[in-house]
Each structure stands twice: as structure tokens, then as C-alpha cells.
Structure 1
Amino acid sequence: MERIVAEKTGPPGLAADMARRMFSGDADPFVRWWYIQGYFEGEDFGRRDFTICFFSLRLADDAGPSGEAIRSPGAMYLCSVVDAATGVHHREVRVDASLHNWYLRQLDTFPDRLGVSRYVSDTIRREIEEHGLYPPINCPPTTMETEKTPFSVTWDDARITFLDEEIIITFHDPTHGEMMSCALIPQVPFTDLSSIAPSGAIGMEYVTCPRLKLNGVAGGAPVSGEAWCDYQSGGTEWFLTEQEETGCIETDGRPCYHPLGWDWCGIQLDDGRCLMLMHRRNLRSKETVSTFCILFSEDGTAEWHPRITARPIRTWESPRTHIHYPVKWEFAIPAIDAILHFSPATDQQEIEIIGMDGGLWEGSGSVTGKIGEEGVSGRGQLELCGYGFIADVADFVGRFEGKINERLEQLFPREIDEAWCASLFGETQPILDYTPFTETISRPVWDLLSRGGKHWRPIFGILIADAVGVRSTEETEKLFVMTELLHSAALIIDDIEDESLLRRGDTTIHQRYGTDIAINAASTLYFFPQSIVSSCPDLTPDQKHDVLRLMTNTSLRAHLGQGQDIYWSRNLSPAALTTWREGHLDEQILQMYAYKTASATEGVAELACILQDVTPETRAACLRFGRTMGIGFQIIDDVLNFSGDEKWGKVAGEDLRNGKPTYVILRALDLLDRDRSDRLTAILCTPELRMQDVVLQEGIDLVRASGALEDCSGEAIRHIEAEWAAFSRRIPPSPGKLMLRVICANLVNMAYEV
């Protein structure tokens, strides 16, 4: 087993050559960062765990007049403090103007360089440009400064100063609004990891001191504790790995890259030893790129061990960014026969950051386990980077899939039994056999639910609730997820009324189980959500009344819209269509969409407003946006009805076959010349024609050739963008708002398989 022992850099203290390397001059690398984490406490002062980190970047921009890359400085500062007694976590993120502006420009290159969706990168850039950053990220007019006498980094009230025998840190504790100032005295030598690691194993220069004694003052009170200090510098190798086959577009002969993430754990054992564990991951392929362990003896001697296994034990979902972080881990280091377990002090230790990642998890915890036959314990610090990376909208939607399915299971069982009936009716039911309930209700319902779909309605609701400030709980999430049950009921009934054959790529429920069972199962789903609302512990009596009223109104609007849809289909003829078009049928169809489809999105927007009790102006903006989103979604659904894409889980041209004068078909009639418009009218209005596959395909080809698909798609997106601008003026920046815009901008792809 490979084992490399480092040479010591000298007696405890900061050697002068280390300081000079940390503050290099003209040959500054792409990135440098100074990282200190630890804890402090006092007699009258509860324990707090902290992290501060300064980032300095030399930002390559467009080439200058002589062709060389112009490099300008940029900086970022992170500060995180956790009150160990209360679990309260506060963080601060500063991004200077240079880094902010450079990053927005770089977003334009990500589709080509990293293979990410242009929908995602463009939308993130536009939202930040138009509406700014969200807390705790701020962009102050100041920036980080470095000095060489003494060696220091400073950004306003935050500072790290490197002296011969100690490091002085000063920062504002956002947990209690106090200033923290203390001296860190190295208890072991600094170690240059590049001197012990094989070439290329780390990817950058890395200097560390894993144990420092802390003494100082916090809020005027004396404190003491321990800390860990790292310095890293280098190029992009730490963040990117070159790929031969990536799916991204190579331009100008330059390579494509996959971004890298990492799981880092620094451990200070009670017996005086320390460990550094690293697990680096390819964020696109999800594969492990490299691992290593460094074991520091009590005197600081460092041993390099290249192989570890890192196994996540438990995942926590951030209520702000919905990123899933594996916060509890098991680490195995075979070379030293070690098994170590990290458990977080508190789950909420996320730090939101600018960019495609959205956030990182940087937090303290405890470590237990064994090395050889010896039991060990100590303090640990875990850093998780890259779990929020979004290559495309599917990455973001995927964050919700497990949670929504879990909530659906909690709401509606796959097998109906005595306990579920008792939970609804409040008493044990005199029923001996629950099989009929399962076979005629649960089974067909879960047949449909198990076919997937994007769950975009509950996602839309959860995100708009995030945007207006609703505190997410399991019970409030159920309220938004119940829209999936109501939507499933509508799909079952729609398929019966439309005589549809396929739904989400499989046989429709009434075709498989019979119309009687399908109607009864759908009716159950219509009534059941009232029970969810009535028993929700997180709603006040007034809120329950408002939500039940909302559900009734939403259902009524949806059925009125369905009535319009049925009327036009049942009474369709060339003469009637001419009369209706003279009476602005296209505008009436949009009204029908507002009732039939947009009632759901407008409804979840109103539900969010009920939960948060927003101002009337904000409420109106949310409802308008929800309505516009629903109408736009239905238009896109009409467009995709003529799609030949295999992702479309229904029969192509089904609207035309069923004689539905949709918005897209009406637009095609307007755009085609008279002869072809008359031919499409004849196909639409004549069942004998449209039921013939050859003639149906002719009609599909006419719609595709008319330009209506592109025209209507563009119109839907323009309306949503215009309404977003009005909505955005009422809603402050937040992760939920940013991702809501990403979802809306990717409306076309979201419409598949709904």
C-alpha cells in the first residue's frame, strides 16, 4: 500500500517562505484561497463553529490588442457561523463587481465549454442581470486587498494576517452581530501537500496546518478554541477535467470540460492526530475522479494514502435551494485500517453562492470510529461542493422527484386498508375486505401516477411559494403535491371524453380498467384532497376555509373550460367553424385554456399567497403570472400534439383526429393559403376524413407546414416573459424565484409527458 511521509517545514509557526508563496506577486495563478475553520467558546459565551474564506481570482477575459488574454482581479469572501447551542446558522457571501460581471459573461460560454443547457445558463444570467443577487450574496462597492507587510488579506471588516508565529483573524459574526478577533497559534508545522502527493494528484498547490490553538475576543468576551488553516492556489485543474467525448460543442479547436465537485473532510481527533480526506467527483458522469487521505501525527508528520472510500449515509434537502446534500458519511481508509463516521452538528449549514452550483455545504460535526483496533473520536469539518450543479432542467426537476413521490405515497396509499379509512372517517370501519377499494381505486390511480410525468404543477407551486416567502414544511408540501392527484383525476376523465388511447406512453386508464372504474377512481381523487386540507395541522381555520374555497373555484373553472372544449368539438362543422372564427374563436379558446388548464397554476399561486398572507398587489401579480403560465403551457401542449418526437407520450395529431379546434390549429388555418386552409378545415370538421390515417397525416403536415407551431410557441414564451417582468417587480430575488424562472424558460421541454 502506497505511503509517503512528508518532511516538516520547520518548528510550529508560519515559515517565511510559506508566507511568500501565499502572497506571490506578478505570477499570480488563476485562483488562490485562504481558508480557516474552527470553533470558539468562553465562560459566558456559548460555542460557535465558524468558517471564513477569501478567494482571489485572476480573471481571463477577451484578448487584448496584442492577442494575449487580459487578466483582471476578482474576489469572493465567505463567512459562516453556527451557534452550537441553538443550531442557528448565519452566513455572508461577498462577490466583488469584477467577479460578478466576469461570471455573467462566462455563463454565455458554458453551453459550448461545459455542455450545459443554454436555457439554464441564459436564464440564470438574465435573471441576475435584471434583478440582482439574492441574500446572503451581496456585491459591495469594495473588494479584497492583499498586503505584504505584514502578509494579509482584507475585505472591509474581515481580515487574515500572517505573522511569524501566529495568524490573526478578524471578522463579523453574523449569528449575533458581534466582531470576532483572535490569534491562531500553529500547534504543528505547515505541510506542503504537493511535496508528498504524486504529480497531478491534487491539481494545485496546497499548504495546510491542521491544528491551531485559538485565543481571542468575541463581542468583548474572552474566547478560546481550535482552528484549521488551508491555502490553495493554481489553475482550473481543481475545477475542470478535460473530456474527449462530452456532448458539448468544441469551438476554435479548444477542448470541452466536465466540472468537478468534491467531498472534503478535515478531522481533529481527540488524541492529537488529524486527517484530511478528499473525494473528487465528475459532476456530469457522477464518477469518482480521485481520492486521498493525509494522516497527521501528533507532531504534524504527514502521511499520504491515495485510496479511500466515501459512502454517504444520510441526505438533507435545503429548504432554500432544494439541493440534496449528503451530510452524514462513512469514510474507509484501508491503508490504516480506519472506519470513520461524520455526523453534522446541524443540517442547516449551507452557503448559497453565485453560479450554476447554487450553493455548497460547509459545516462542522463530530467524528467517531476506529483506526486499527483503537476507538477514536473528535471534531470534523465537512465541505460538499457541486451537489447543486445544474447541467439542464432535468437536473433541477430531479431534485423534486423523490420528494413528490414520497408525499404522494403519504397522501394516497397503493393499498387501501383499515388504518387509511380510519384516518379519513375518524373511526374503525366495519369492513372485512378492503381488496375492492385497492383494485378499483388505488391500482388504477397508481398505474397512472407511476408512469412518471414532470410533476411541474407541484414544482411550480413549491417554487412560487418559496419566492413569496412561505416556510416549507412536510404538510405545506403535501398541499402543493395534492395538485398532482387533482391533475390525475382530470387526465382520466379527459381521456374518457376524448376517447384517447394513450396517456404517458401507455394505455389510458379507462381502456385498461373499464370506464366505470376509471370514472370512480377519478371522482375519488377529486373529493379526497378536501380531507387533506381539513386535517392539515399547519393551516389556521381561516386558511382552511380559504383553501377549500380555492379548490372549489378551481374545480368549477376547470369544468367550465372542459364544457367549452366539449361544446366546440361536438358541434363542429365547416359552417359553425366559420361563424365561431368570425366571433373571435381564438380569443375564446384562450379563455377556455385559462379555465381548463391555467386554473391549476393560478390555483397553486393563490395557495402560496394564502399561506404567506401577501399584499393585494403581490397576490394579483402572482395570480396573473400563474394564469399566463398555465395558458402558455397549454399552447405548448397544443404545439407538441403535432410533434413526431418519441418523447411525446401521446398519439401525434390526436387533437386533429378528435376534431378539437385548438389555438394552434386555428393559427394554421389563418396562416395557410385559401386552398390549403379549406382542406385543413374539411379534415378537422369531417370525422370520416380525419379518422383515416393517411388523411390525418395530411392534416398534420398542413399544420406543420403553416408555421403555426413556431408562431404559437414564440407567442407563448413572449407572454410568459412579459408577465414575468411584472411578477418580478413584486418579488425579491431568491433561489426559488431564480429556479422558477428557469422552469418557465424551459416550458417546451417541461411540457413533455405531463
Structure 2
Amino acid sequence: MALEPTVKHESQPGASPDARMDDLPDQDGRGAYDLPRLDCGHDAWRFVTGLCDGGGVERRLMIEFVAHRTTRPDGGRLVSHGCGWTYSVPESSTYREQTWRDAGAVELICLDTSRGWDPSVGEAVREACASGRPIGPDRLLPGPVALAADRLCLDFGGVAELSAPAEGAYHVVLRGDDETWELRLRALKPAVRESLYQGAPLGVDESRCSFLMPRLAADATWSRPGHPPVRMSGLALYQRAFGAAELPQDGGRPPVDRERTWIALHLDNGWDVVACQSGSVDVASGMTARRPASVVLVAPDGTRQEAPARLDPGESWTSIVTLASYPTVWRVDAPEAGLSLRVAARFAEQERPTVIGPGALLAAAATAEGELHGRPVHGDGLLEVLPVNRILDFEGHLEGLRAITHAEVVRLYPDAPEPEAITVLAGLAPGSRWPVDVVAESLHRSLVAPVRHLADAMGRGWRSYAAIAAMEMQGVSSRPYRALTALAELLHTASLIVDDVEDNAPTRRGRPAVHQVFGQATAINTGTHAYLVFDQVVRHLLPDDPERRLRLYQAYLDGMRRNHAGQALDILGHHEAMEAAVVSGDAAAVLERVRTTHRLKTGGVVRGIGEFGAILAGANGELLAAISAYYETVGLAYQISDDVADLRALLARPGDPGSRVAKLPGEDIREGKVTYPLAHAVPLLPRARLREVWDVVRAGNAAPAAAREIVGALEDCGATAASLADARQAIDQAWRPLQELLPVNRHTVMVRALGLYAAQRHLDE
């Protein structure tokens, strides 16, 4: 339990600081703003530093200490703490982060994910945190947290310490596994009030008080085992904030999420600039309330000026790790202050976990250029972008990968008939004497356009995510293997093109099926050819690793055989097995047959996708087998819940691009298919009623009213509920052995959530 000495103030943890502002100085030098506010819900101390070593190498260090206090749903007090730091070298695009939490912060995350989060993600998070340890890369503080009440003296478990040895001076010590930082900072300008937010959009108390010490001299020593200490110096900015709890848990407050852009800059003319825009999202209504943006400017003599501003985002970067999208370029305009700046991250990949609460943010070293008072200025500092982190819908969250996946698809299947891309698609050697330019347009029209017709309307992309997650959950970065996303999407697209020909389906993903537009012959040829892009991608990913390429080829070919075997069973159907079950009243054989078909046709492909990522990450033996089994079961569970979705006409939900449109409940019934719920109904329906149902299904082309009646019978007898229960049981059984072999990190949590979602996505529909 964190150690927090008793203090005079004992108001509620979420209380507004407004009534206590009189005891805090603005610029009188007493430093009372430094003191912990143990009666406030949120307490934060942050330092943004720009340092240079003796060789002129520029480094950035951002440090944060946070204490959070809220009320549990049962009325008890929950105190949590977190700290962290990011270290970057812009010249080499190096970025490292460390985030530490105590047990209270882990409990806070569990409570937060029970309010307004997607049920599958929330359950996976709570399951992962059940041991009281945080989800990696976050780490558990090794000791208690101590905050003195009468002075600035913070000790976060022996990992990070902050103190004020003298007025306007600060001492910070950071201890990681393989590094130690010691910083001494001295104020060059007095503290100023950054902002005092008043009012409560959406009925949520968001009062916050923030102070800035805009410019400090910084001296730092960076020590690592086996290396001489590196001494650096530079400038820093210090922010002190406190106020209402960011994650209130009491039942009287609706769950909210927050978004924020915060820019802190030192300009080369001696001025300092802090720009901010923040907002709140009401989870229940989806409404967003944003405060007007503002800037605080501090002159070289310490004079403070505040003005309204516009913060306009520019180009963005999407993280393949969290799927969050961050604007990395911003325009900051404050005409009343004579300020106009373009602020840009030094490089894109500067994402770190939030110190309190689940999620991540961009905490990027940034540069600025523009004008102040009509004169050109340059500067550098921090660009921080906190997006909405609450995952309300699992598949909707995975849409964050669509842009990355589509870009990789376009690289393989370009918009125009580019000879180089067509050469590779045609299997010709670069520089070949074949007249590719003569046939490029024709090949583009017959091989590329049909694939793009369907791929451009791609679904929500959980298969693409599954491929990269199979790497990330082992602790291996998927960034060099982005082409995996296209591979997963193209394999799925190819199977859909061929399936639609076999089923004579009119539409797919809200548009005419490929064979309806390009003809059956072209669709069959194109779909088959798209399977072969696997070789092209693998050669690109592993140009000099024939051993791993061979393993990938073996996994791929096994998966394709499974898929086609499952499709063969699906085409043949299960009428004979169902008839035998109706006669005997024993569903075991037909259930196993349907289950096997699902495992082969859908599960086999998903298993292969998981194996691609697993093998690229180096998985072997027991781990590879466990990943394969779990991913196959995800495919099985997804297909079972798909059978339920058809009965409930859920494939017809507006805006869902991932499925064929179903106009009426029970289209599988009208097509005479034996699905998992129908097989489950064998022992659950009275024998005579079962015979009636089966005779209607077997005949096919059931009238809409008859189909709806059968849907009702399957629901009422418990067949759909039993199907979803089977899917959940299969997922849980496959997860247990894999769970024991993997670290607990964001991607193991999300892969667990993927299985839960596949099994129960229609449980409450």
C-alpha cells in the first residue's frame, strides 16, 4: 500500500481545487505549488528536458510522477501511483520508455475497464491483472510509494525520486534495470500559472490547476553498467498539475474518456510557449466536449501572457502496436499574441503507455518554426497527443489497422499498371526480356482490379491484427513485418472471391461480388492467383533466411490444404449426417462433422495466419503448437458465432463492411445448410418438431415466414445459446496452455480478447 501521510485537508478525492487557490502563490517564489495535494484526485509532476552531451549529441528526457485518488464503487478510497520516463535520440530515431505502477494503479485499471469498455477487452484486461501485476511493458514498483506532506519529497518505490533541495531547485533520480539518471535543475524563470479550468462539460467535474516553471537549467548524468558516465546539460520545463480525478469510479459519475494535445516549447529568442487543447468524451452518449485551445507565452523576463489559439492537426502516424492514430504535425496560431508556428515530431514512432490508466499517448521530441511578433523563430520541445483510449468496440478498434493494411495491399496491387509491380505479380524476373509493358495494362485489369475491387472494401481487419499480434505477444516487434497485414488480408480476400463463385453469391462487403463484375472465369483465376502472393511477400520479408522461409511455406501449404478440405466438406454439405441424427436423436456425429468443417475451413486459415507471425518471431515446439491450436480455435469460434449471426440476421447490420448482406433472418436455413445451431437442436427439440424443422431446411428455399419460425424454434430450445457456450468453452480450453507460455503484455491481452470476442460477439444480441 502506498504511504501517504495524513494531511490537514480531507475533502473528497475528486474535489475541485478552486476553493483552495488562495493558499497557492502565483509568482511569489514560495513554491507551495510543489507540495502534494493529498486531498485532490490527481497529482502530477512532469519535467521535459532537452540535453546535449560533450559530443553534441542531442537527447530528450521526459519524466512524470503521478498520484491518483478516487472512490471505489463500494465507497472505499483507492490510491494509485505511477511514474515513467522516455528517452530519445532524435538524430538516430532512438526511443525507449519505462513505465512503473503500484498495485493501486493495477486495481484502477481493472475498475476502469469494467465501465464502458468492450466486454471482451474488459474481461481480458481484468483476467490479466488478477495477479495484481501490471500489463507489460508496464512494471510493478518494487517498493512502497512515499509522498511527504510538508515538502516536495517523492519516492516511487526506489525507482524514481524527486525532491527540492532549495528554492527553485529540483533533484531527480531515476533507476532502471540498465541505467541510472541523476538530474539537477535550477529555475531560470519564476513559476507561472498555466491555466485554471472551470466548468464541467457533460456534467463531469474536470477542474484542474496547473503551474509551469517554463525554463530551467538542467545538468544530467546518465550511467550504465560497463560504460563511463555520460554528462549532459541543457534546458528543461517543469509542469505541476493537480485537481479532480481523471478516472472517477464512484457510481454517481458516468465513465468518460479524455483527449488532449499539449505542446511545450523553448524558442531560440528566449521565449517559452505552452499550447493546449483538451476534451472529454461521454461514453454513454458518445458526445465530445472540447475546451477552446489556448497558449501561454512567457517572455525572457518571466512575464506571462495567455491568448486564445487554434491547434490544427496535419499528417498522422498510426501505431502498429496500439492501432492509435496520432497527428505528428500541428499548426499553432494565436493572432492576439502574434504567434504562428508549425510544430512537428522529430520522428513518428514515439509512443509510450500512459502512467495512470490503460492506453498510450504520443510523447514526442518536436521542433517548431514560424513567427512571433512578426519575427522568425525556431524552437524545440515536446509534442504530446493523448487520444481516446477507451475501447468501446473490439472490431471497431481493429479498424485502426485498415490504413496500414490497405497501404501494404496497394504496394502489391497498385492503383495503376506499374510495370515493376506487374512483373513481380506475373512471376517474372526483374529485367526479364518479356514485354511486360505490352501486357501490363491487361494484367492489371485481369489480376489486380478484381482483387482491389474487394480488398478496397476490406472488413475490420481482425485477421491482419492476429498476424502481427502473434509476433508482438512474444515480445518481438512487428514493425519490420508490416507486409504481414497485407498477406492476411489477401488470403482472406482470395478465399472470399472463390467462395462467392461457388455459392453464386450476388454481393460481398456491400458491393457486387467479384464474379458479378468481372465474370466467373476471371474471378476464379484471380482468386487462385491471389493465394500465390504469399511467396512474393515471404521473399520480401526474409530475403536471406531460407530456413525460416521453408518453415513459412510449410505452414502456408498446410493451411491451404486445410482450407480447401473444409471447403470441400462445406460444398458437399452435411445432409446425410443430419438425417441420421434426426432419426437417432444423437447429435454427436453431425456436431463433430460441422465442427470439423469449421476448424478446417475457417480455423485452418486463422491458424496459418497465427503461425506466420509466430514463426517470424522465432516460436518453436510447445509455444508454436499452443499458438497454432489457439488461433485455430479462434477461427472455429468465429464461425460458430457466424452461424448464430445468420439466424439473427446480424450480418445485415448497417455499416458492417465485413460480411455478405443478409436481408432476412435464417438465410442459411433458406439455403438448406446444416449449421452448428441446427445440429445442436437435435437433442433439444421434441422428435416430431425436429423432423418438421429438418424437412423444411433440407428442402431449401424456405419461405421467409417458415425460416423465421425455425429461427424462433432454435432460439427457444436453447440451440443458439448452446452453440455460443461451446465456442466459449473451446476458446478457454485453448487459451490456458498458451497463457502459461507467454508474458503478460498488451498483445496477449488483445489476443485473449480476440478469442472472447469471436466466441461471444452475438451473445447479447
TM-score normalised per structure 1: 0.86
Query: Is contact 2:331–2:341 with CA below 8 Å preserved after alignment?
Result: yes
Match of 1:712 among 723, 736, 761: 723
Deviation at 1:491, TM superposition (A): 1.8
Deviation at 1:200, TM superposition (A): 7.8
Query: Is contact 2:108–2:357 with CA below 8 Å preserved after alignment?
Result: no
Query: Is contact 1:565–1:592 with CA below 8 Å preserved after alignment?
Result: yes
Match of 2:169 in 1: 167
Deviation at 1:599, TM superposition (A): 1.0
Is 2:752 the counterpart of 1:741?
Answer: yes
Deviation at 1:304, TM superposition (A): 1.1
Query: Is contact 1:415–1:442 with CA below 8 Å preserved after alignment?
Result: no
SS at match of 1:168: strand
Question: For residue 257 of structure 2, what is the amino acid of its counterpart?
Answer: P
Match of 1:673 in 2: 686
Distance 1:304 1:218, change over 3 A: same
Match of 2:306 in 1: 304
Alpha-carbon separation, structure 1, partners of 2:324 and 2:543: 24
Question: For residue 432 of structure 1, what is the amino acid of its counterpart?
Answer: V
Correspondence 1:107-118 to 2 at 5 A: 107-108=113-114, 110-111=115-116, 116-118=117-119
Deviation at 1:231, TM superposition (A): 0.9
Query: Is contact 1:157–1:170 with CA below 8 Å preserved after alignment?
Result: no
Query: Is contact 1:311–1:330 with CA below 8 Å preserved after alignment?
Result: yes
Deviation at 1:322, TM superposition (A): 3.2
Match of 1:685 among 689, 698, 702: 698
Match of 2:267 in 1: 269
Deviation at 1:276, TM superposition (A): 0.9
Query: Is contact 1:572–1:685 with CA below 8 Å preserved after alignment?
Result: no
Deviation at 1:24, TM superposition (A): 5.5
Match of 2:367 in 1: 366
Alpha-carbon separation, structure 2, partners of 1:502 and 1:547: 33
Write out per-residue CA displacement over residues 670-710 of structure 1, whole angstroms, 9 at most, x where no aligned residue. Answer: 311111100112122224xx444444444333333332111
Match of 2:137 in 1: 136
Deviation at 1:209, TM superposition (A): 0.8
Query: Is contact 1:411–1:478 with CA below 8 Å preserved after alignment?
Result: no
Deviation at 1:84, TM superposition (A): 4.7
Correspondence 1:380-459 to 2 at 5 A: 380-424=381-425, 425-426=428-429, 427=432, 428-429=434-435, 432=438, 434-459=440-465
Deviation at 1:434, TM superposition (A): 4.6
Match of 1:598 in 2: 603
Alpha-carbon separation, structure 2, partners of 1:575 and 1:154: 72
Match of 1:227 among 227, 233, 236: 236
SS at match of 1:471: coil
Match of 1:701 among 709, 712, 720: 712
Deviation at 1:612, TM superposition (A): 1.8
Match of 2:314 in 1: 313
Match of 2:557 among 552, 556, 566: 552
Deviation at 1:633, TM superposition (A): 1.1
SS at match of 2:291: strand
Is 2:670 the counterpart of 1:657?
Answer: yes
Is 2:271 the counterpart of 1:258?
Answer: no
Deviation at 1:392, TM superposition (A): 2.3
Once the two structures are overlaid, the 10-residue window that deviates more, 568-577 or 742-751, is 568-577
Once the two structures are overlaid, the 10-residue window that deviates more, 721-730 or 407-416, is 407-416
Alpha-carbon separation, structure 2, partners of 1:649 and 1:634: 14
Query: Is contact 2:562–2:605 with CA below 8 Å preserved after alignment?
Result: no
Structure 1: segments with no counterpart, 5+ residues: 1-6, 64-68, 241-249
SS at match of 1:732: coil
Question: For residue 125 of structure 2, what is the amino acid of its counterpart?
Answer: I
Deviation at 1:549, TM superposition (A): 2.3
Deviation at 1:366, TM superposition (A): 2.0
Distance 1:551 1:455, change over 3 A: same
- CA RMSD between the two structures: 3.3
Write out per-residue CA displacement over residues 412-446 of structure 1, whole angstroms, 9 at most, x where no aligned residue. Answer: 23444533322341225256355543444433332
Deviation at 1:484, TM superposition (A): 2.0
Alpha-carbon separation, structure 1, partners of 2:111 and 2:54: 50
Match of 1:214 in 2: 218
Deviation at 1:278, TM superposition (A): 0.4
Distance 1:334 1:176, change over 3 A: farther
Match of 2:71 in 1: 60
Query: Is contact 1:36–1:227 with CA below 8 Å preserved after alignment?
Result: yes
Deviation at 1:390, TM superposition (A): 2.2
**Overall identity of the aligned pairs, in %:** 20
SS at match of 2:731: helix
Write out per-residue CA displacement over residues 687-744 of structure 1, whole angstroms, 9 at most, x where no aligned residue. Answer: 4xx4444444443333333321111012102211221222111111122222222232
Write out per-residue CA displacement over residues 117-171 of structure 1, whole angstroms, 9 at most, x where no aligned residue. Answer: 3333333222222594233311224233223565322222522222443323232
Query: Is contact 2:412–2:421 with CA below 8 Å preserved after alignment?
Result: no
Question: For residue 704 of structure 1, what is the amino acid of its counterpart?
Answer: E
Is 2:487 the counterpart of 1:486?
Answer: no
Query: Is contact 1:357–1:386 with CA below 8 Å preserved after alignment?
Result: no
Query: Is contact 1:357–1:390 with CA below 8 Å preserved after alignment?
Result: no
Distance 1:498 1:180, change over 3 A: same
Match of 1:343 in 2: 344
Query: Is contact 1:88–1:175 with CA below 8 Å preserved after alignment?
Result: no
Write out per-residue CA displacement over residues 611-635 of structure 1, whole angstroms, 9 at most, x where no aligned residue. Answer: 1222311111101101111111111
Distance 1:498 1:132, change over 3 A: farther
Match of 2:500 in 1: 495
SS at match of 2:532: helix
Deviation at 1:210, TM superposition (A): 0.2
Alpha-carbon separation, structure 1, partners of 2:586 and 2:447: 42
SS at match of 1:733: coil
Once the two structures are overlaid, the 10-residue window that deviates more, 545-554 or 432-441, is 432-441
When the two structures are aligned, how many residues end up with a matched partner? Answer: 714
Question: For residue 100 of structure 2, what is the amino acid of its counterpart?
Answer: R
Match of 1:615 among 609, 613, 620: 620
